[in-house]
Amino acid sequence: MPAKIIQTNTRPFDNVDIDPITLDIIENALKNARTEMDAVLFRTAMSPGIREQHDAFPMIANPDGKMVVGQFGSFFSGFKEGYDGEIEEGDIFLTNDPYSCNGAISHLNDWLTMMPIYIDGRIVAWAAMFGHMTDVGGKVPGSLPTDAAQIFEEGIQLPPVKIYHKGKLNEELLSVILRNCRLPEWNKSDFNAIIAALRLAERRVVEMSDRFGTDQLVGAMENMLDRNRVAMSAILNMVVPEKKVYFEDYIDDDGMGMGPYKIACTLWREGDHVIFDFGGTDPQSISSVNFLLNEEMFKMFLGAFFINLFDPQILFNDGFYDLVDVRIPRGTILKPIRPAALSSRTHLLSRIFDIMSGVLGQGSPDALCAAGFSDSPHFMYSGYDKNGEWYQLYQIGFGGVPGRPAGDGPDGHSLWPAFTNVPNEFLEAYFPLRIVTYETIIDSGGPGLHRGGNGLSMGYQFLEPGEISIHDDRWLSHPWGVNGGLPGQRSDKLMVRADGTREWMVSKCDRIKVANGDTLYFNTWGGGGWGDPLTREAAQVALDTSRGLVSIEGAKRYGVVLDDSFNVDQRATDDLRQRMKTERGEVQLFDRGGTMEELKARCMADTHLEPPTTPVFQKWMGREDVGQREAAE
């Protein structure tokens, strides 16, 4: 049954004319309120994942739950599908269960709160905020076990529940939830910070209603949605062809011996409507890399992609959603069946951006972006310090943003533009470790007219015995280049033990014991290049080399010859570029660095990327993929 909304005032909102100036004021006031929600949260949360890295997403929606301002798309359609109780004034809802809200949030660490905003007995808006909790229980610290076979192993599951009922906190329920977390004080602080952000949104909406009138406020929201729909309709009709276009990409493995996993997408347009069909995507995994992709979340990704590419002045909201049809076959790695594990879904969630770029860009190659740092790799370190106190770090790694039509990709940046790094001083002050290296990886960005951003090397030296977890990808497949650009360098992880022993780590692993003096070099991948590298200005390549972004040897990949002082040898450069151009032949739209079979063979020879003795090679060496088939059935 659908949720039942209790309102003492059922009068419909009047249709009113909103003059452009008032509409502009209300729009900017709502955008400002959304920014204030972030500010309240980041200044009052305790966990570094939210406080420092900003792993949280706010939203304000209209009375129907359509996002008007926000960042991660609307959660309310999934919420209404999963909740069959009453919605009353003063209620605040909490959930972290993706299967209860059709993937509106995608793993148990994300605590989603939603609050109806009432004025005079009617819902005039909704506020929502979710944040990634450092721990929600489960079999490993951090609650992101690579080898989880079912969601029951990943932590406490919360279907949509009233954490506040008519304004009163359900303290007993909250105490049960916190009892199941390894860091209850952090979780409680972060939870209260999220609630404070909702209260801030409520105050701002009430203030706008008092100033402009409730009907005008609701009418302005409808106008904002309509304007988005008109703008996005024009873009979709301009960019998306009626003829079907196909693209595929991969995540490299699932940490359990299976992989790579294919994500397939076919795109076409029928009149004003655009269809994305993920038929051909591989079956769900037996591990936790599955991603329950919510259709509206994908539409949010699409809107953000187009708006940033074509016109950043367009207000991003849900107005265009009815123009897009997203088809995801059930039982695939993008639509797993409960109780499939989901905790390590970050690799697939992020790879969706590369898929969108590849499938959309084929119709407009000049607007096509290369593949880049399409992931949010996780690093976790936990244990008891010398005082017997529990410590637990969760951190998101950064890498190389791809080369773009507008220019080079930034070095050592996050996939999510709003994320920031955790200051090294913060890490060293709060955790028993020392940061011995924090630098971009020279030559890791793919060469191109516009260079791909370099990956990042972060060296963690551990000062107390403990355990670490690593969650990363792109150790096998390259972030591809486009329009003649070359692919970026892949990732790797190197452990140097206190006695000098060197161990290459696999990309997805848990429960790795570390001792005082051990050092992990967490090396992420670079972004693919955009455009022909032989057309990049030699002087710009020389500047990149002088800045330590490209080596003298790496400059030759651009056809540029430099001396030891980074001066261009113009004659040698002209000769080299002509020879490279002749040998290369026709420029390709996509450069993946080789076929998948070639990449596998290369990894077999370059064993530090993933030693052939590890389970991930079992499938490639002839193992029957029983696990995938059973999961699909």
Q: Dump pLDDT digits (tens) for 516-536.
A: 999 999 999 999 999 999 999
pLDDT higher at 603 or 356:
356
One domain, residues 207 and 281: no
One domain, residues 179 and 282: no
Question: How many domains is the chain built from?
Answer: 2
Predicted pLDDT at 597: 83
Beta strands per DSSP E along 497-585 = 502-505, 508-514, 519-523
One domain, residues 419 and 509: yes
pLDDT tens profile 144-156: 999 999 999 999 9
The single-letter DSSP state of residue 561 is -
pLDDT at residue 89 tops 60: yes
CA distances for 394 relative to 151, 303, 352, 397, angstroms: 20, 30, 23, 10
Query: How much is the average pLDDT of 425-454?
Result: 97
493 lies in which domain range? 240-293+328-532+587-632
Domain final position from 200, 229, 258: 229
Beta bridge partners of 435: 460
Q: How confident is the model at residue 359 (pLDDT cuts 50, 70, 90)?
A: very high
pLDDT tens profile 552-569: 999 999 999 999 999 999
Domain final position from 208, 229, 250: 229
Predicted pLDDT at 629: 34
pLDDT at residue 612 tops 60: no
DSSP assignments along 91-154, one per residue: -EEEE--GGGTTTSS-STTEEEEEEEEEETTEEEEEEEEEEE-S---SSSTTS--TT-SBGGGS
One domain, residues 144 and 289: no
CB atoms within 10 A of CB 420: 13
Percentage above 70 pLDDT, the chain: 95
Domain final position from 210, 229, 248: 229
Burial class of 192 by CB neighbour count within 10 A (0 to 12, 13 to 18, 19+) = middle
- With respect to residue 549, please indicate whether it lies within any of the assigned structural domains: no
The single-letter DSSP state of residue 289 is T
Beta bridge partners of 261: 251
pLDDT at residue 452 tops 90: yes
pLDDT tens profile 189-206: 999 999 999 999 999 999
Q: CA quadruple 415, 420, 421, 427: dihedral positive or negative?
A: negative
pLDDT tens profile 247-293: 999 999 999 888 899 999 999 999 999 999 999 999 999 999 999 99
- With respect to residue 288, please indicate whether it lies within any of the assigned structural domains: yes
- Alpha-carbon gap, residue 199 to 82, rounded angstroms: 24
- With respect to residue 69, please indicate whether it lies within any of the assigned structural domains: yes
Q: How confident is the model at residue 419 (pLDDT cuts 50, 70, 90)?
A: confident
Reported pTM: 0.92
Query: How much is the average pLDDT of 116-120?
Result: 97
CB atoms within 10 A of CB 404: 24
pLDDT at residue 237 tops 50: yes
Query: How much is the average pLDDT of 418-430?
Result: 92
- With respect to residue 315, please indicate whether it lies within any of the assigned structural domains: no
Query: How much is the average pLDDT of 465-478?
Result: 95
One domain, residues 375 and 281: yes
One domain, residues 191 and 339: no
pLDDT at residue 78 tops 90: no
Asked which of 90-94, 216-220, 249-253, 419-423 is least confident by mean pLDDT, the reply is 419-423
One domain, residues 17 and 110: yes
One domain, residues 225 and 244: no
- Alpha-carbon gap, residue 593 to 248, rounded angstroms: 15
- With respect to residue 556, please indicate whether it lies within any of the assigned structural domains: no
One domain, residues 224 and 273: no
One domain, residues 262 and 119: no
For residue 43, give the 3-state DSSP assignment: helix
One domain, residues 188 and 73: yes
- With respect to residue 569, please indicate whether it lies within any of the assigned structural domains: no
Q: Residue 13 is encoded by which pair of tokens?
A: 């909102």
pLDDT at residue 624 tops 60: no
Predicted pLDDT at 1: 66
Note whether 516 and 460 are within 8 A (CB). Answer: no
Predicted pLDDT at 605: 67
One domain, residues 606 and 487: yes
- With respect to residue 171, please indicate whether it lies within any of the assigned structural domains: yes
- With respect to residue 567, please indicate whether it lies within any of the assigned structural domains: no
